[in-house]
């Protein structure tokens, strides 16, 4: 079904404010929203995380009396549960909101390991939260959708939250906006240079999304094993805390966290904590492409913000930046010789190889090899 129909129905029902975090199953909706309203405008805001998106929708309702639409991947339900249960719920402020949730890991479909459990519990989570829902699939007819949408709107009128669950391929768009920036270096080339700069004992913790997939494939192409890389396939925004936990416990190793700007924004409190703990063995590399590139390219909430400025005020003693292979080689040469924490911001283009694959090892194999490497004396 076309996302434009969903938005047209929303507008007719008086829903005219949209906030969320993008998802690949919701690419049609995101493209349509971007084409109609841009981002960070009065009508549409890309939030830092899904809980924040719920907050925006709550504020909109308080100010206008109109429910808003909040979109997210089901992975983001975890971030949203607290405001859903303690803010929107009818036993608290009873604030209505229409959730539109991409259903990764739907039981009976094939999906990546990080989506399997979340996919299995998604409908149950909504039931436990007392949130009525309807499911939109690729075969749902327009009349069936209109009927289900009408029922969800009646729920909103009772000052309750309702959800529309989006199966794979259910929403498409005729809009294909071009997301991008003016940078030229690819994320994959940048990642390869970072791996090159490391010492044999160093380890890497990489963030959710295509960056980890690229690191896996760079190692494969080079005939290297994967034991130095912890690929954080899920848990968006938490790679730097995983890396900090390792850095605290293994002060004799250099830990490189390879992060994304969307992931950093999702849990920004991590940066002052890293600055305060000040692990000397920590290099925080943030790929700043200004976008949620992995899930379609919608801009991140921070716009053109320089992550280096945040790092400086968070207490990182060293802040480096690069936007080309040459400037990156120079920055990496410095990063290797500094006592951290070091923040290295790499400004990259949007986009990825069309034939980018996914890790062929399981997360448990990744964990075991990584732990063996970390516990070996000279590994």
Ligand X SMILES: Cc1ncc(C[n+]2csc(CCOP(=O)(O)OP(=O)(O)O)c2C)c(N)n1
Binding residue for ligand X (CB under 6 A) from 262, 340, 341, 359?
Answer: 262
Any residues with CB less than 8 A from the CB of 48 and at least 6 apart, and which? 265, 266, 268, 301, 302
Full strand arrangement of the beta sheet holding 97-102:
44-46, 18-20, 68-73, 97-102, 162-166, 133-136
Nearer to ligand X, 73 or 281 (CB): 73
Query: With respect to ligand X, which residue has the nearer C-beta, 241 or 287?
Result: 287
C-alpha distances in Å from residue 67, one per residue of 12, 75, 111, 125, 325 = 12, 23, 32, 21, 47
Residues forming beta bridges with residue 299, ordered by sequence position: 291
Q: Work out whether 170 is an interface residue with ligand X (CB under 6 A).
A: no
75 binds ligand X (CB under 6 A): yes
Any contact of residue 236 with ligand X (CB under 6 A)? yes
Per-residue binding letters, 272-311, with ligand X (x by CB under 6 A): ---------------x-x-xxxxx----x-----------
Number of residues this chain uses to bind ligand X (CB under 6 A): 26
Query: Does the footprint of ligand X cover residue 20 (CB under 6 A)?
Result: no
**Binds ligand X (CB under 6 A): choice among 51, 52, 260, 341:** 260
Phi, then psi, of 97 in degrees rounded to 5: -160, 140
Query: The tokens 């504020």 sit on which residue?
Result: 59
Q: From the CB of residue 140, how many other CB atoms can be counted at a distance below 10 Å?
A: 15
User: In the numeric block, which tokens belong to residue 34?
Assistant: 């971007």
Half-sphere exposure in the Cβ direction for 125 (13 Å, CA): 21
Pick between residue 247 and residue 263 the one whose CB is nearest to ligand X.
263
Q: How far is the CB of 87 from ligand X (least distance, A)?
A: 18
Judging by DSSP bridges, how do beta strands 203-206 and 133-136 pair with one another? unpaired
Query: From the CB of 11, what's the least distance to ligand X, in Å?
Result: 25
CB of 65 to ligand X, least distance (A): 29
Q: Residue 78 or residue 325: which is nearer to ligand X going by CB?
A: 78
257 touching ligand X, by CB under 6 A? no
Of 124-132, 157-165, 223-231, 254-262: span binding ligand X (CB under 6 A): 254-262
Nearer to ligand X by Cβ, of 96 and 262: the residue is 262
By Cβ distance, which residue is nearest to ligand X? 260
Q: Pick the closest to residue 226 from 194, 269, 268, 195 (CA basis).
A: 195
Considering beta carbons, is residue 79 or 122 the nearer one to ligand X?
Answer: 79
Q: Which of residues 189-218 bind ligand X (CB under 6 A)?
A: 207-211
Look up residue 350 and give its two tokens.
């949007």
Residue 314 within binding range of ligand X, rule CB under 6 A: no
Give 268-318 as a DSSP string: TTHHHHHHHH--TTEEEEEEE-SEEGGGT-EEPTTTT--HHHHHHHHT-SE
Q: Is 76 in the site for ligand X (CB under 6 A)?
A: yes
Shorter beta-carbon distance to ligand X: residue 76 or 119: 76
312's CB contacts (< 8 A; 6+ apart) are: 319
Give the interface with ligand X as residue ranges (CB under 6 A): 21-23, 73, 75-76, 79, 187, 207-211, 236, 260-263, 287, 289, 291-295, 300
């Amino acid at each position: 079904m076309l996302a434009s129909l969903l938005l047209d129905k929303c507008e007719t029902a008086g829903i005219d404010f949209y906030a969320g975090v993008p998802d690949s199953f919701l690419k049609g909706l995101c493209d349509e929203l971007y084409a109609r309203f841009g981002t960070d405008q009065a009508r549409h805001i890309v939030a830092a995380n899904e809980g924040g998106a719920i907050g925006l929708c709550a504020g909109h309702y308080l100010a206008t009396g109109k429910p808003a639409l909040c979109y997210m991947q089901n992975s983001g339900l975890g971030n949203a549960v607290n405001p859903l249960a303690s803010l929107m719920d009818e036993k608290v402020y009873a604030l209505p909101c229409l959730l539109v949730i991409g259903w990764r890991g739907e039981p009976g479909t094939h999906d990546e390991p990080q989506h399997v459990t979340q996919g299995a519990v998604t409908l149950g989570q909504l039931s436990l939260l007392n949130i009525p829902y309807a499911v939109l699939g690729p075969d749902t007819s327009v009349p069936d959708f209109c009927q289900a949408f009408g029922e969800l709107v009646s729920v909103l009128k009772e000052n309750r939250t309702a959800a529309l669950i989006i199966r794979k391929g259910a929403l498409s768009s005729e809009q294909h906006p071009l997301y991008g920036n003016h940078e030229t270096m690819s994320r994959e080339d940048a990642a390869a240079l970072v791996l090159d700069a490391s010492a044999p004992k160093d380890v890497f913790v990489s963030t959710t999304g295509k960056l980890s997939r690229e690191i896996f494939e760079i190692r494969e192409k080079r005939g290297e094993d994967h034991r130095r890389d912890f690929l954080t396939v899920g848990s968006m925004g938490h790679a730097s805390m995983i890396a900090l936990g390792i850095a605290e416990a293994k002060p004799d190793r250099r830990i490189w966290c390879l992060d994304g700007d969307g992931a950093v924004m999702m849990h920004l409190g991590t940066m002052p904590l890293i600055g305060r703990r000040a692990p000397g063995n920590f290099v925080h590399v943030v790929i700043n492409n200004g976008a949620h590139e992995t899930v379609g390219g919608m801009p991140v909430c921070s716009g053109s913000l320089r992550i280096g400025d945040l790092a400086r005020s968070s207490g990182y003693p060293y802040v480096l930046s690069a936007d080309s292979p040459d400037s990156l080689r120079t920055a990496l040469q410095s990063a290797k010789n500094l006592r951290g924490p070091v923040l290295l911001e790499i400004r990259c283009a949007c986009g990825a190889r069309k034939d980018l694959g996914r890790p062929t090892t399981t997360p448990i194999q990744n964990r075991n090899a990584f732990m063996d490497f970390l516990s070996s004396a000279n590994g």
